[in-house]
């Protein structure tokens, strides 16, 4: 049940404004958190969610506005100031010490001492009690790195409770969890809520938001749209408020997969028996001009392993690749780029965006690599290329000099797409291009993929969201247990068919 609105809020942020050079990141934003309530913060990537959280946790100083904790105005100059005020944060990537034990992490900085010596037995006993209080029976002496991300997050939450957190911020906590792990986390969240902790929940999974939330605040373009009871805000209205327009783009893409592809000619790419011992059983794949071929399967099914072999990111030890009918040797990404094959990795942070380079530098990186280090791109040509793709892809903010690391996930993904399109590829492989981004940016990228394929670009599209694969792809190649199990015609396949085909290992509506 939502917290009683008559109960004084534990957090009141009013008129919060934050400016960065050339960017108004937050403009007169308000947020109220009440004890015993799960409050979701929603908005597109770039809406200001992360900036608002960093203002509340002392990472960023605010230019104007006030933050009150328990009715008392506070100024947070450091994260320690916020933590001392009872505000703790658990991020998607847990910030703990994986080489230490679970108990050491739970009690880090709060160790129990006997004189000058730490009483490790007491430390682990206290940690076990904290974990037990959350219904988690974990050996406190086990090494943290031996546990799943889900358990590590629960350890981080236990640590927050040791610090007597009155406010717990959960920033995309479920992105790497399976359904059972999500349920486990939600059980803990409800336990803390019932004890009076105010919980700020940030997620791009709408189903989860509605499952766990009492109240929702929506931001758009750095401004407050409004605060709503979750029960009073239908999902369609939430999406509309987040993106500022009716979300009909995804519906308009519903017929993309029905576009007829001419497969009478030569495929852009034809891979035969491509595999790698211990990684992927030999598999075939062909893609024709203007076609979107989806790769579907569960995590670990071999989707990413296959495309990395095709791109030369990993070296195949079997099979042959032909590009436009000619055998080619693709053992490195450079070979792939030379053969007009582009690849956008699922790991955009480590294998995609270079955070310390500008948007413009990131976009021209691929074309510069193709031309070689000795053939610098003239400044005028660079500016024209960057301007073209910032505009075409709707990168926000539209500033080529903005550091790419400061962009939201959705806009980073658009910059990556621009980088590869600038190389004029004939085939582009997109591995999870819409994962972890908001629904508006997702629609933009899906629409661009549809547009590019209609113009003749061949696309291999990987997504864990099976509806997205069926919406965009004309054919779906299904992977399971690191092997290809079959192929489906999207126009004759619905979601239930695809799920059954994956689950049953290839029995179904094969193309």
Instruction: CATH number of the domain at 145, please.
Output: 3.40.50.300
pLDDT at 33: 97
Distance of alpha carbon 425 from the chain centroid: 25
Say if 3 falls within a structural domain.
Answer: no
Say if 388 falls within a structural domain.
Answer: no
Query: 111 pLDDT exceeds 90?
Result: no
Same-domain check for residues 323 and 211: no
Same-domain check for residues 220 and 343: no
| 444-454: average pLDDT | 87
Position 297 confidence tier, pLDDT thresholds 50, 70, 90? confident
Same-domain check for residues 45 and 131: yes
Among 245, 263, 284, where does a domain finish?
A: 245
Query: 477 pLDDT exceeds 80?
Result: yes
Say if 342 falls within a structural domain.
Answer: yes
Q: Are 466 and 490 in contact (CB under 8 A)?
A: no
| 232-251: average pLDDT | 70
Cα separation of 324 and 190, whole Å?
56
Least confident of 288-292, 296-300, 314-318, 459-463: 296-300
- Tell me, yes or no, if the pTM score tops 0.75: no
pLDDT at 304: 92
Among 224, 245, 266, where does a domain finish?
A: 245
| 119-138: average pLDDT | 86
Same-domain check for residues 50 and 186: yes
Same-domain check for residues 36 and 180: yes
| 322-326: average pLDDT | 97
Say if 90 falls within a structural domain.
Answer: yes
Q: Are 58 and 52 in contact (CB under 8 A)?
A: no
pLDDT at 292: 96
Q: pLDDT tens digits for 261-288?
A: 889 999 999 999 999 998 899 999 999 9
| 89-113: average pLDDT | 83
Q: Are 460 and 453 in contact (CB under 8 A)?
A: no
- Please count the structural domains in the chain: 2
Say if 396 falls within a structural domain.
Answer: no
Query: 371 pLDDT exceeds 60?
Result: yes
Query: 155 pLDDT exceeds 90?
Result: no
CA distances from 459 to 293, 307, 474 (A): 6, 12, 10
Position 145 confidence tier, pLDDT thresholds 50, 70, 90? confident
Written as six digits, the tokens of 3 are 């917290």
Same-domain check for residues 55 and 199: yes
Show the beta-strand stretches assigned E in 153-298: 167-171, 198-202, 215-220, 223-229, 269-276, 280-287, 292-296
Among 186, 219, 245, where does a domain finish?
A: 245
Percent of the chain with pLDDT over 70: 93
> Residue 28 burial (CB < 10 Å; 0-12/13-18/19+)?
middle
Whole-number average pLDDT of the chain: 87
Query: 363 pLDDT exceeds 80?
Result: yes
Same-domain check for residues 233 and 268: no
Same-domain check for residues 126 and 56: yes
Q: Are 169 and 87 in contact (CB under 8 A)?
A: yes
Q: What is the DSSP letter of 358?
A: B
Say if 26 falls within a structural domain.
Answer: yes
Helix (H, G, I), strand (E, B) or coil at 35: coil
Query: 355 pLDDT exceeds 80?
Result: yes
Range of the domain at 442: 250-352+425-504
Say if 310 falls within a structural domain.
Answer: yes
Query: 246 pLDDT exceeds 50?
Result: no
Position 31 confidence tier, pLDDT thresholds 50, 70, 90? very high
Same-domain check for residues 26 and 82: yes
Same-domain check for residues 124 and 91: yes
Same-domain check for residues 79 and 205: yes
Same-domain check for residues 328 and 192: no
Q: Are 448 and 477 in contact (CB under 8 A)?
A: no
Distance of alpha carbon 165 from the chain centroid: 27
Q: Are 297 and 332 in contact (CB under 8 A)?
A: no
Say if 391 falls within a structural domain.
Answer: no
């Amino acid at each position: 049940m939502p917290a009683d609105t008559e109960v004084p809020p534990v957090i009141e942020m009013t008129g919060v404004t934050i400016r960065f050079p050339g960017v108004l990141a937050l403009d007169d934003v308000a947020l109220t958190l009440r004890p015993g309530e799960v409050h979701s913060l929603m908005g597109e990537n770039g809406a200001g969610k992360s900036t608002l959280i960093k203002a509340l946790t002392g990472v960023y100083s605010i230019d104007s506005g006030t933050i009150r904790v328990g009715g008392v105005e506070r100024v947070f100059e450091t994260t320690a100031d916020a933590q001392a005020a009872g505000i703790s944060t658990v991020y998607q990537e847990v910030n703990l010490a994986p080489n230490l034990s679970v108990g050491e992490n739970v009690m880090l900085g709060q160790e129990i001492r006997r004189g000058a010596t730490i009483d490790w037995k007491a430390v682990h006993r206290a940690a076990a009690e904290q974990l037990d209080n959350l219904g988690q029976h974990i050996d406190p002496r086990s090494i943290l790195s031996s546990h799943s991300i889900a358990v590590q997050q629960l350890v981080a939450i236990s640590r927050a409770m040791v610090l007597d957190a009155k406010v717990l911020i959960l920033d995309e906590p479920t992105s790497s969890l399976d359904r059972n792990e999500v349920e486990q986390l939600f059980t803990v969240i409800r336990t803390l809520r019932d004890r009076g902790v105010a919980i700020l929940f940030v997620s791009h999974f709408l189903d989860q938001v509605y499952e766990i939330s009492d109240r929702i605040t929506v931001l758009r373009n750095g401004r407050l749209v409004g605060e709503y009871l979750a029960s009073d805000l239908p999902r369609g209205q939430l999406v509309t408020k987040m993106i500022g327009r009716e979300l009909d783009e995804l519906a308009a893409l519903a017929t993309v997969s029905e576009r007829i592809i001419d497969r009478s000619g030569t495929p852009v790419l034809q891979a035969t028996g491509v595999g790698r011992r211990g990684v992927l059983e030999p598999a075939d794949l062909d893609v024709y001009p203007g076609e979107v071929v989806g790769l579907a399967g569960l995590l670990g099914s071999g989707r990413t392993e296959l495309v990395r072999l095709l791109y030369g990111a990993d070296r195949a030890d079997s099979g042959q690749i032909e590009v436009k009918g000619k055998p080619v040797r693709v053992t490195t990404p450079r070979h792939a780029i030379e053969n007009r094959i582009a690849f956008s990795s699922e790991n955009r942070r480590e294998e995609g965006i270079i955070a310390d380079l500008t948007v413009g530098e990131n976009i021209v990186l691929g074309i510069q690599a193709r031309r070689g280090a000795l053939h610098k791109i003239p400044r005028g040509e660079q500016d024209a290329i960057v301007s073209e793709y910032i505009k075409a892809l709707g990168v926000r903010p539209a500033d080529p000099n903005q550091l790419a690391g400061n962009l939201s996930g959705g806009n980073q993904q658009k910059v990556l797409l621009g980088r590869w399109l600038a190389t004029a590829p004939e085939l582009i492989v997109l591995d999870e291009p819409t994962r972890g981004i908001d629904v508006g940016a997702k629609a933009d990228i899906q629409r661009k993929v549809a547009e590019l394929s209609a113009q003749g670009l061949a696309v291999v599209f990987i997504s864990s969201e099976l509806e997205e694969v069926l919406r965009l792809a004309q054919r779906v190649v299904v992977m399971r247990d690191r092997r290809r199990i079959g192929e489906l015609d999207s126009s004759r396949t619905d979601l239930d068919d695809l799920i059954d085909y994956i689950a049953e290992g290839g029995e179904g509506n094969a193309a």
